[in-house]
Structure 1
């Protein structure tokens, strides 16, 4: 809401009910045609997300009396105050966006239609629920690959491979052909997959009490022992493999080229509860924990340099982007950190969400603009332009989306409780 010349203007991006405006507040207003079509992703939107009141009875007569503003009528019978012509003004009276006969406008809710998912919704365009897995423009759903029985917790694309790997709490890893989308094989691990990453030809999978390592080029398989409980997160930095575990320890291995194996290098202690997020940037390792804290470690000395305690719940994901560290938490915030002159990190901006946050990922859209992908625990992913944090779009899942991965050529992947979806930046190519 903002105040402009005493007139109260309410921007309601969801199209919900709003109080009737003052008599002259509809001057210079225009109803957003993207909202009428149920797919406006701008917030705040400069146009109205509600229909202008239809004049009738004494009020209408008074409005059309002496001194009343001039009115216009389009072919659909709509009558209202003549809007000021702006740069986006369209004087096409035959425009019927979002109108279903008799001026009935269906206001879409941000929820996917269950009947549409099952393939038997009879309402079509008149359905008030979404018949799409996303809102917003600029990205397209390419494929949806099912197979896992529980939530997908890791997605990895080893270098030089034409395969994509997914790990799940259903205790399996699946290999997918990136050209055909077909599942090429299923590996049963006997334990829930807590995380999965790839580095060069190596694929690392974290399960309870062990890290499994596969060389996808030679098929060599290794088991890295040492973890106590579930392995929730892994990252590679400075030729070291780091794994965050359930007991709050960060285990470190170094690859020995002579023996072609990974040897224990260190054990970092300091967190009092499980370590669930790790990221490397600016010659530092950052760890997020269920104890609500973030710790910064030197990659050279492996000593803790700073402990950050601004979050009030589990720090679920960390992301290094340029000179910033971004963190998200179940406390419903994304925090942006920047280094001060003495090298310590301080919060420079806090973005508030309506739901707890599970995962962060960053990439550039088809116009090379930075976009932040935030998975929330309401089964959705929010897409934000950076640095403004203006909402660019939204992706929906059948269940919580716990894994987001970025691929080459504008591709990105989201995994929920049934499988994963493949998305691509760029408009959809119309079918001939």
Structure 2
């Protein structure tokens, strides 16, 4: 690896610290406690909104004011409990099995999808759009502006810090287990390494090709590039090149001790790890899609692949044979996610589809959620109460947060350009990467309750 430990051309702008993942209270947590003590001010800190408050303690709120309660009960809908109360992580038994697999032995205790329900925490404004003048720091309307003066809408999550340095769209975010480093990949042909204690870039890996995707599995990091997959072990420093792909590698996933790579020519290449040689050996190439494979997920002993040919194919992990082709989407299937016994898919056709198995074992659409824009990326996590939350980015530069299974919207996040990468971490942290190359670190926080 060509590793520049000076951090390339990174400017020293990350003054706010996000602490070691999963350990101790963050500055943000302490600040939230202080804000509760000073809620009589009921005024949001202007500098916090601009992302540059350096007062600690600050006498003003470091969160948006909650909306007035709706006429109906704010606790309606949404279904029952269930799900682990830890953040969504690859090796826990959460109800999501996404990029790193998971426990798929669940029964349906959630009832029907799409129930009208919980609308807690969503701040109503006249236009759900970030003010361009506020972004530039010169909006003259202040609190009377009809546009948002915030990068988020709704309670239950807060911005921790912003990581600057990449020059193009973020295409992958990874947190290898046992490491205190965050890795981000970009179409600027680099992977950047960030220290989770200081929030500073500690190294830049120059790859000589656009990063199409990046995942972590245990201590391994896998990076999809044109015509090759790079594999790094963060504990042993092993550096491997897996040849065979034709064109850009758009999607990677690990399941059943196999590594799968979705490629530009429509193939899915498979490698098996050989512990004796400490290498990944080519196993087979799955050829059934007619166009590029851009999304992969493993769950319920199945591999699911989404393609530019508008189809989803279901593969047996035991036989590596295609056992079903799903053709309900009418555009590119951009992202896939397994939740309990359901498969969720999103597409540029502006829909999220929820698939469930029939008595025959075949998948059929059980619910369709429609949006106004093309959809890009799905990610699952749990809120501080252990309830499942779906994050979905769209090409209007926003990320929607939905309660499952009701699909009630609980908030939105915004960016200057579309968000292509979302990754969850331990301790309620999650990460988003947008088209400008900016990575944002967010924290899922409990919504404060009032007592009478």
TM-score tier by shorter-chain length is 0.7 to 0.9
Answering whether residue 269 of structure 2 is matched by residue 251 of structure 1, we say yes
Answering whether residue 424 of structure 2 is matched by residue 406 of structure 1, we say yes
Match of 2:220 in 1: 202
Match of 2:401 in 1: 383
5+ residue gaps, structure 2, are 1-63, 73-122
Among 302, 310, 314, the alignment partner of 1:284 is: 302
Match of 2:120 in 1: none
Instruction: Note if contact 2:263-2:294 (Cα within 8 Å) is conserved in structure 1.
Output: yes
Count of matched residue positions in the alignment of Structure 1 and Structure 2: 334
The 5-angstrom pairing of residues 30-109 of structure 1 reads 40=67, 46=71, 108-109=126-127
Query: How many angstroms does 1:39 deviate by?
Result: 6.7
Answering whether residue 192 of structure 2 is matched by residue 169 of structure 1, we say no
Change beyond 3 A, Cα 1:272–1:177: same
Q: State the alpha-carbon separation in 1 of the partners of residues 362 and 313 from structure 2.
A: 11
Instruction: Note if contact 2:151-2:413 (Cα within 8 Å) is conserved in structure 1.
Output: yes
Instruction: Note if contact 2:258-2:273 (Cα within 8 Å) is conserved in structure 1.
Output: yes
Answering whether residue 422 of structure 2 is matched by residue 423 of structure 1, we say no
Among 250, 254, 267, the alignment partner of 1:236 is: 254
Change beyond 3 A, Cα 1:255–1:372: same
Q: State the alpha-carbon separation in 1 of the partners of residues 199 and 147 from structure 2.
A: 29
Match of 1:220 in 2: 238
Q: State the alpha-carbon separation in 1 of the partners of residues 71 and 353 from structure 2.
A: 27
Match of 2:411 in 1: 393
Answering whether residue 142 of structure 2 is matched by residue 137 of structure 1, we say no
Among 375, 383, 389, the alignment partner of 1:357 is: 375
Instruction: Note if contact 1:41-1:393 (Cα within 8 Å) is conserved in structure 2.
Output: no
Match of 1:345 in 2: 363
Q: Deviations over 1:380-411 (max 9, x none)?
A: 00000111101100000110100000100111
Q: State the alpha-carbon separation in 1 of the partners of residues 67 and 332 from structure 2.
A: 32
Q: State the alpha-carbon separation in 2 of the partners of residues 188 and 210 from structure 1.
A: 15
- The runs of at least 4 consecutive aligned structure 1 residues that moved more than 4 Å come to 37-42
Match of 2:325 in 1: 307
**What is the RMSD of the two structures over their aligned residues, measured on CA atoms?**
1.9
Among 297, 306, 317, the alignment partner of 2:335 is: 317
Q: State the alpha-carbon separation in 1 of the partners of residues 68 and 254 from structure 2.
A: 36
Q: Compute the TM-score of the two structures, normalised by the length of structure 1.
A: 0.75
Q: Deviations over 1:314-336 (max 9, x none)?
A: 00000001100000000000000
Q: State the alpha-carbon separation in 1 of the partners of residues 275 and 65 from structure 2.
A: 56
Q: State the alpha-carbon separation in 2 of the partners of residues 276 and 129 from structure 1.
A: 35
Query: How many angstroms does 1:120 deviate by?
Result: 2.5
Match of 1:83 in 2: none
Change beyond 3 A, Cα 1:154–1:183: same
Q: State the alpha-carbon separation in 1 of the partners of residues 217 and 427 from structure 2.
A: 19
5+ residue gaps, structure 1, are 1-36, 48-97, 99-105
